[in-house]
Each structure stands twice: as structure tokens, then as C-alpha cells.
Amino acid sequence: MRSQAAEGLKMRLPVLVCAVVGFCAAPGLVSGADRSCGDLRQFYTGKGFTLEGVPQTEISGEHLRMCPQGPTCCTSSMEENLASLSTQETEGLIREAGRSLQASFNSLHRSFDNYFTELHGQSERSLQEVLSPLGSLYSQNSPLFAELYSDLRQYYRGVALNLDENLSDFWSQLLERTFKASASTDVSLSEDYLECVAKQQETLRPFGDIPRDMKTKVIRSFVTARSFVQGLLVSADVVNKVSQVAFAEECSKALMKLVYCPYCRGFGSVKPCSNYCSNVMKGCLANQADLDPVWQELIDTMIQVASSFSTEPSLDVVLSSIPVQIYEAVHYLQENMETFTAKVFQTCGTPSEPGTGSPAVHEQKKKSSSLTQNKPNPTVGLRLEMQVTDLSNKLREMRQYWIQLPVALCSKLSAGSTSQDNCWNGITKARYLPGVMGDGLASQINNPEVELDITKPIMKIRQQIMQLKIMSNRLKDALEGNDVDFQDASEDISGSGSGMCLSAQCARNRPGLYAYAPETNPVAGAATVNISVFNLPLLLLFTLLLLQR
């Protein structure tokens, strides 16, 4: 009896060992070697790669460095090729999004520039009609008025002009020529004498309050207009430069695992979980997200500047009224020429006079004129309102671009919200459990998908953050009516600020990927039990002891 029991034990032992250890699986489940790689081969060639070295059936995946190890159709070279491709494709999507945003800024710039240039041109063209009552004073000095508009145009275009000084110089020259035109032909007015006359502009105020009033309004309008178009150009340039920043190696690995590892593991038809995709993209675009606070501040300030164009006196009123104010200023001086001349004699002395002596006002200048050009055409004002509304609305759409970029990318790559239990979570087809990280470099300290050194921000992006800050300050100065210098910024950029790690609190504490073991059945035919070979002798011994009882 004892010998029969021993014989039975020998017969049952392999079966029991198989049952406990799990080594004797059904045929075809040991390594998945019979599983065809046809789908992957077709997909791989569709991406432009050759089939050289691509396996016909699944192979062991111990060689995989980026994808989860296990039965796979990907070799090491395939993994590297697909990793490079995933990086190129994602960087291409970012550049495409950047080009779209650049196009929006360029469109806004063209729209406003065309509008402002048209206002400027209409104002200049109305000079002849408005100033024609001045007779020869206008016709003989038309280059002076043309130069004024040329200076204004160049200033708007960004030329380094001191608008305050240029406007003061214009009024000084106009005073000289008006005084000279009003003088008797018998009086000899030297250049020194006329220069003395011009210096009386500030003290005697020969044109009344018009020069000061016009200067305040024109400077305000042109400073804000110039800073606004500069803000649009700087914003587009920042988008262009940041969109060209290449991904780091850690990000390339994470993108491969997100995008193409499902194909290597037999889940080609399964899209990544949305939260999983979010963590990858938030990690890869962490430095870009640090643009958000200063970016939103710049956009908000540009909206304020755009709104100021319609604040009374509105932009269109200021530009259209320049010829009118020039006429009224000259007319004011002509009406009060005798009083002004007497004061000039007291300051500059009596000019040398071959004839009678003092300048006399020409009678034709006494003519008064009621001008109707103070107010622009109502349709012009309506167009300004439409322009401001359109600019403001489109700028608001751009406010959250940098923190919405990961969302936009994942909308193209990940599964929908209804497929969160059957999506690729980085290991298998199952729900993704880790929470979604915040925005910006500092928030990625515990990102489970992308390992970043948050103490080393990308300096190219930090430089663009500084450019945005500088531009915001210039726009704020413009809102206060202060002239703005648009020299290229050369401030020292230390890289400190958002995203910097300044203490031991930066010690990395990466949590586990999953709260429970994920599915371990990624490929049909793969082994389903994974028991360490180091425990095998103990299991065999334990089984024998049980059978002997």
C-alpha cells in the first residue's frame, strides 16, 4: 500500500507543481510566440519604416527600455525609431498650434495697422481742405506739415523719435513762419530774431492752449497705438520661439510609452487614458506652462490698451482733428498778433527796419472760419468700436493658450471620457489611477510619467517670460501716456522665478503608479502568472510535505 501511494505521488507531483507554480500553461500561452505581428508590421511600414528586422511573430520583450517588458512585436531598433517618431510628431503638433496662434496675432496686427494707417492718411489728406483758408501760409509751408505727419508715421512704426520734442519743434517752426508771414515786407527779420520769436511759444502761448492740448492727445494716441502693435508682434515672436523648443530625453521616453508602446504590446487599437495623456503633456510642457501668468497679464493689458482707443477723445477723433487744431491755432495767433508782437518786442527787441518798423497782420488773415471737421464721420466712430470689440474678443480667446496646450494635444491623442476603463494606462488596458498634475514646472515634482529636474528650467523659455514682462510694463506705461522705448531688452535673465526650486523641499518623492495591480493580460497567449524563480524551491518543498501527510 505504501509503495502504491508513493507511485501515485510520483504521478501527481508534476501536475501539482504545475498547478502551484503556474508553469504548465495551456499550449500557446507560454510566450505568445505563435501570435502574429502582421498588424504591427503593416502599421510600422505605414509610418515609413522598412520591414528589415521586424519579427513575424511575438518575441520576448526583455530588451525593451521604454515600453513595459513582455511579449512584443518590437525590437530595440523599432522602439528607438518609434520613440523618435513620437517626439517629432508631437513637436510638429506644437509647432502647428504655434503657427495658428501666430497667424491670429498677425491677423490682428494687419487689421489694426490697416485701420490706423487709414486714419492717419485721411487726416493728412484733409490738410489742404482744412488749411486752405490760410492762403500762402499753408501753400508755402506745406513741407512743414508733411514733415509733421511723416514724424508721426515713423514714430508709430517704431523709429526712435522723441514725439514731445518733435511736436514742440513743429509749433516753434510754425510760429516763426506765421510771424514772418504776418510781418510787413519792409521789416527785415533775421534768423536769430525769428529764433527768439520761436522761444516765446511756451511763455507767451501765442497759439493759446491748442499746442499743449493737441500734444497731450496725440502723444497718448500714438504711444498706445505703437505699443499695441508692438505687443502683438512681441507676442507672436514669443509663440514662435517657444514653439520651437525641443523636448528633453525624459519627455521623449514618456511620449513613446504614451503613443506607440500600445502597438508594441498588442494594444494598437486602444487609445491612451485622458488623465495619463494629461500627465505626460503637463510634464513635457511644464516650462511652457510657466509662461501663463505673465502671458495672461500681457493679454489683459493689451485689452486695456485696445479699450483706451475708444476712450474720449477717441483715437479716430484725435487723428482727424489734427488739421483742425493747426488751423485754429494759427487763426488764434492771427487774431491776437498785435498783442503778441508787442510782447515779442519787449523780449526780443525791435527788428531792424528799413521801412516802417513793426510787423503788421495781413488783413486776409482776419477772416474767421467755422470748421465742421472737429467731429469725424459717425461711421468712422462705429468702425472704431467694431475694431476694439473684435481685438478684445480675439485677445481673450488667447489668454489661456499655454495651459490649454496639453488639453488640445490630448484631445487628438487620448480616449474620450467614456472610455476610461478600457484605455491604455502606460502598462495595459485599464483605468489610469494617478491624479492629474498641476500646471508649471514646480507642480511636476511628483509627476509619475515624466521625471523632471525642476531646478533646471529651460533658459530659452525663461528669456521669453522676461520679454513678456518687459512688454507688459511698456504697455502699462503707454496707458499712463508715457513715451515707450522699444530697444531690445538686454536685462540679465537669471532664470529664477516660477518653477524654481530653492530649498530641500525639492527632494523628489515619486508615488507608485497604481494603487492596485493592473491587468496582466495584455496579449492573448501570454503567460498570466509571474512568480519569482527564487521562491520555486520553497514551493516544491512545501508541496512534497503536504503530500506526505
pLDDT of residue 226: 95
pLDDT of residue 44: 95
The Cα–Cα gap between 363 and 1 comes to 148
- pLDDT of 48 > 50? The answer is yes
pLDDT of residue 190: 76
Secondary structure percentages of the chain, helix, strand, coil, to 5: 60, 0, 35
- The 3-state DSSP class for residue 13 equals helix
pLDDT of residue 96: 96
pLDDT of residue 353: 53
The Cα–Cα gap between 68 and 520 comes to 11
pLDDT of residue 481: 81
The Cα–Cα gap between 395 and 108 comes to 9
Q: pLDDT digits over 155-170, tens only?
A: 999 998 999 999 999 9
Per-residue pLDDT, averaged over 316-341, amounts to 92
Q: How confident is the model at residue 186 (pLDDT cuts 50, 70, 90)?
A: low
The Cα–Cα gap between 241 and 536 comes to 58
Half-sphere exposure in the Cβ direction for 238 (13 Å, CA): 27
pLDDT of residue 346: 84
Neighbours of 71 (CB within 10 A): 23
Do 207 and 175 meet the contact criterion of CB atoms below 8 Å apart? yes
pLDDT of residue 342: 86
Per-residue pLDDT, averaged over 331-344, amounts to 88
- pLDDT of 19 > 90? The answer is no
- Nine cell digits for residue 421: 476603463
- What is the sign of the dihedral through the CA atoms of 341, 344, 345 and 351? negative
> Where is average pLDDT lowest: 117-121, 170-174, 265-269, 340-344?
340-344
The Cα–Cα gap between 136 and 352 comes to 24
The Cα–Cα gap between 93 and 315 comes to 39
The Cα–Cα gap between 361 and 182 comes to 5
Percentage of the chain surpassing pLDDT 90? 59
pTM (2 decimals)? Answer: 0.76
The Cα–Cα gap between 386 and 115 comes to 11
Per-residue pLDDT, averaged over 455-469, amounts to 96
The strand pairing partners of 429, in sequence order, are 424
Integer CA distances (angstroms), 532 to 23, 529, 537, in order: 12, 10, 11
Per-residue pLDDT, averaged over 418-445, amounts to 92
- pLDDT of 268 > 60? The answer is yes
Neighbours of 8 (CB within 10 A): 11
- pLDDT of 332 > 60? The answer is yes
Do 353 and 187 meet the contact criterion of CB atoms below 8 Å apart? yes
- pLDDT of 183 > 80? The answer is no
- The 3-state DSSP class for residue 179 equals helix
> Where is average pLDDT lowest: 353-357, 374-378, 475-479, 495-499?
495-499
Name the amino acid, one letter, at 318: V
pLDDT of residue 34: 59
Q: How many residues does the chain have?
A: 549
- pLDDT of 37 > 50? The answer is yes
Q: How confident is the model at residue 199 (pLDDT cuts 50, 70, 90)?
A: confident
Domain boundaries, the chain: 86-350+380-443
Per-residue pLDDT, averaged over 107-132, amounts to 94
Q: How confident is the model at residue 352 (pLDDT cuts 50, 70, 90)?
A: low
Per-residue pLDDT, averaged over 485-503, amounts to 38
- pLDDT of 539 > 60? The answer is no
Q: pLDDT digits over 57-92, tens only?
A: 999 889 999 999 889 999 999 999 999 999 999 999
Question: What DSSP designation does 55 have?
Answer: -
> Chain-wide mean pLDDT for the chain?
80
> Where is average pLDDT lowest: 10-24, 173-187, 388-402?
10-24
pLDDT of residue 370: 45
pLDDT of residue 251: 95
The Cα–Cα gap between 168 and 148 comes to 11
Higher pLDDT, 188 or 118: 118
Integer CA distances (angstroms), 204 to 18, 201, 267, 400, 420, in order: 112, 6, 87, 54, 80
- pLDDT of 177 > 90? The answer is no
The Cα–Cα gap between 480 and 469 comes to 17
